[in-house]
Amino acid sequence: DGGITQSPKYLFRKEGQNVTLSCEQNLNHDAMYWYRQDPGQGLRLIYYSQIVNDFQKGDIAEGYSVSREKKESFPLTVTSAQKNPTAFYLCASSNSYSYEQYFGPGTRLTVT
């Protein structure tokens, strides 16, 4: 089956720890995205990557970091510098020639 996988589904961390969220796609899409969603709100873009070894900051990149060493993988690290990391994180991908984005099932991160 083609699609996007995110793991884990739920993640719990203590304040001050860095944590890495996984995102893998086998759709052969060039572009990948990380969004943050808070309760009752829409999506806010954290980082995106249109090609391997290149990525750009979105609206709320502070406290986050990414890498894009392989086309199919785009991990997101939530660092201890992120002031309010508890949220639902969504990864998406798209074909360069399509406007549609395909989403993973999300990771709910809780930091206490």
Partner 1 sequence: SQQGEEDPQALSIQEGENATMNCSYKTSINNLQWYRQNSGRGLVHLILIRSNEREKHSGRLRVTLDTSKKSSSLLITASRAADTASYFCARWDSNYQLIWGAGTKLIIKP
Q: CA-to-CA distance for 111 and 76, rounded, in angstroms?
A: 15
Of 40, 69, 83, 97, which lies in the binding site for partner 1, with binding defined by CB under 8 A? 40
Segment (H or E) for 100: none
Options 11-19, 40-48, 61-69, 74-82: segment touching partner 1 (CB under 8 A): 40-48
44 makes contact with partner 1 (CB under 8 A): yes
Which residue lies nearer to partner 1 by CB, 70 or 105? 105
Q: Which span sits near partner 1 by CB under 8 A: 12-20, 67-75, 79-87, 93-101?
A: 93-101
Select from 12, 3, 21 the least CA-distant residue to 101: 3
Cα distances from 84 to residues 8, 58, 81, in angstroms, run: 19, 17, 9
Matching residue, tokens 């739920």 = 10
Judged by the rule CB under 8 A, the positions of this chain that interact with partner 1 are 4, 33, 40-45, 48, 50, 58-59, 88, 90, 92, 99-106, 108
